């Protein structure tokens, strides 16, 4: 394994994936979903992952988040090599280092916002001396102090997604991964969620990557990675420099720099 690449400020990446392959035996033959993905995630960056439906975005995010294991390749996360580990070992890495935000929020309907965040802290062995205070702080950080005792059925889509983000952040993971976090939201709530993720990514100890189809989110990106048919076809580290800036119109594709996969 090569030495970790360093960002211009000398910071090593928090996550490094090398030649990640994911194939599934469908019975009717092997389906090759990811065909050799190499990338890293650096602290202080918000990376957007884009690509057509079926290109492998969720599969990639799930592998980077140690929810799925790759068929082959290397995944280095906080000093661990994750490919080939048992599900218990993957769960441990996930518990300590990953915050995952799902498109459909995945909140427990019978628990309040506060309790939903507390559950995540519980799974993390309550690293904090006062889990209730930590959970309340996480909800405050997403602007939901006033809704902490509400059940998910009483929250708007945007509020539910903010609870899900608070839950993903409460254990202070170094890598936050979000799969289409704005897809179910109207533009105002989508904007609030992206602003929040951007804020999270300003933390120099954290990296955030979000899958998106939503061109309104592009101007939040420090970097845009594009995948097609299981391969990286674009990796733009300065998507908003020298271009039209926040005014990216709907339907406008990110500028691509071709990279070797
Ligand atoms: N467990 C599985 N069994 C069979 N096929 C799968 C499985 N998981 C994913 N696939 C297939 O792999 C391809 C990539 O799926 P994936 O969910 O990663 O795509 P995606 O880029 O997230 O798409 P979308 O934008 O629609 O969410 C798809 O063709 C999908 O049908
Ligand atoms: Mg998907």
**pLDDT, position 185:** 84
Choice between 197 and 184, residue whose per-residue pLDDT is larger: 197
Residue 125 pLDDT more than 80?
no
Please tell me the distance between residue 61's alpha carbon and the centre of ligand 2 in angstroms: 9
pLDDT in tens, 155-166: 999 999 999 999
* Least reliable range by pLDDT among 52-56, 184-188, 238-242: 238-242
Summary mean pLDDT of the chain: 86
- Calculate the dihedral angle through the C-alpha atoms of 62, 118, 161, 101, rounding to the nearest 10 degrees: -10
Q: Is residue 51 part of a domain?
A: yes
User: Which residue segment(s) compose the domain that 232 sits in?
Assistant: 41-70+79-247
Write down the pLDDT at residue 154.
97
Residue 130 in any domain: the answer is yes
Order across the sheet with 45-50: list the strands: 98-101, 175-179, 207-211, 45-50, 223-228, 231-236
State the pLDDT confidence band at 116, using cuts at 50, 70 and 90.
very high
pLDDT, residue 130, reads 84
| CA 61 to ligand 1: nearest atom | 18
33 part of a folded domain: no
Question: Residue 136 is part of a domain; what is its CATH number?
Answer: 3.40.50.300
Q: Which atom of ligand 1 is nearest to the CA of 51?
A: 21
Q: Is 22 in the pocket of ligand 1 (CB under 6 A)?
A: no
Residue 25 in contact with ligand 1 by CB distance below 6 A: no
Residue nearest to atom 9 of ligand 1 (CA): 59
pLDDT band at residue 126 under the 50/70/90 scheme? low
Query: Cα–Cα distance between 188 and 183 in angstroms, integer?
Result: 12
In a domain, 50, yes or no: yes
Give the Å distance between the CA of 180 and the centre of ligand 2: 7
Model pLDDT, residue 253: 41
Q: Is residue 93 part of a domain?
A: yes
Tell me the residues surrounding ligand 2 (ion) with CB < 5 Å: 57-58
Q: Report pLDDT for 10.
A: 59
| Ligand 1 touching residue 54 (CB < 6 A) | yes
Query: How confident is the model over 131-147, as pLDDT tens digits?
Result: 899 899 889 988 899 99
127 close to ligand 1 (CB < 6 Angstrom): no
Residue 24 pLDDT > 90, yes or no? yes
Percentage of the chain lying above the pLDDT 90 cut = 57
The answer to the question of residue 193 being in a domain is: yes
- Checking if the pLDDT of 251 tops 70, the result is no
User: 139 C-alpha to center of ligand 2: Å?
Assistant: 27
Residue 84 lies in a domain: yes
Average pLDDT over residues 169-186: 90
Task: Say if 220 falls within a structural domain.
Answer: yes
Tell me how far the alpha carbon of residue 229 lies from the centroid of ligand 1, in angstroms: 10
Q: Which atom of ligand 1 is nearest to the CA of 211?
A: 22
Structurally, the chain folds into a number of domains equal to 1
Q: How many angstroms separate the alpha carbon of residue 256 from the centre of ligand 1?
A: 23
How many A from CA of 54 to the centre of ligand 1?
Answer: 5
């Amino acid at each position: 394994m090569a030495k970790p690449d360093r960002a211009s400020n000398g910071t090593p990446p928090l996550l490094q994936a090398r030649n990640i392959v994911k194939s599934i035996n469908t019975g009717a033959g092997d389906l090759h979903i990811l065909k050799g993905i190499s990338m890293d995630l650096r602290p202080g960056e918000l990376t957007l992952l884009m690509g057509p439906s079926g290109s492998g975005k969720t599969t990639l995010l799930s592998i980077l988040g140690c929810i799925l294991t790759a068929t082959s390749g290397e995944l280095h996360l906080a000093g661990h090599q994750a490919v080939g580990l048992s599900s218990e070992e993957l769960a441990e890495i996930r518990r300590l280092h990953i915050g995952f935000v799902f498109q459909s929020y995945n909140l427990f309907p019978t628990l309040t916002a506060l309790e939903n965040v507390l559950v995540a802290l519980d799974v993390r062995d309550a690293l904090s001396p006062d889990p209730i205070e930590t959970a309340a702080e996480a909800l405050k950080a997403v602007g939901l102090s006033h809704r902490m005792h509400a059940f998910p059925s009483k929250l708007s889509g945007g509020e539910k997604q903010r609870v899900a983000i608070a839950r993903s952040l409460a254990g202070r993971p170094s890598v936050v991964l979000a799969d289409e976090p704005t897809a179910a939201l109207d533009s105002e709530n989508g904007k609030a969620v992206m602003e929040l993720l951007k804020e999270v990514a300003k933390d120099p100890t954290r990296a955030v990557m979000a899958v998106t189809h939503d061109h309104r989110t592009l101007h939040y990106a420090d970097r845009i990675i594009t995948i097609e048919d299981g391969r990286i076809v674009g990796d733009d580290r300065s998507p908003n420099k020298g271009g039209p800036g926040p005014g990216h119109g709907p339907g406008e594709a990110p500028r691509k720099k071709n990279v070797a996969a």
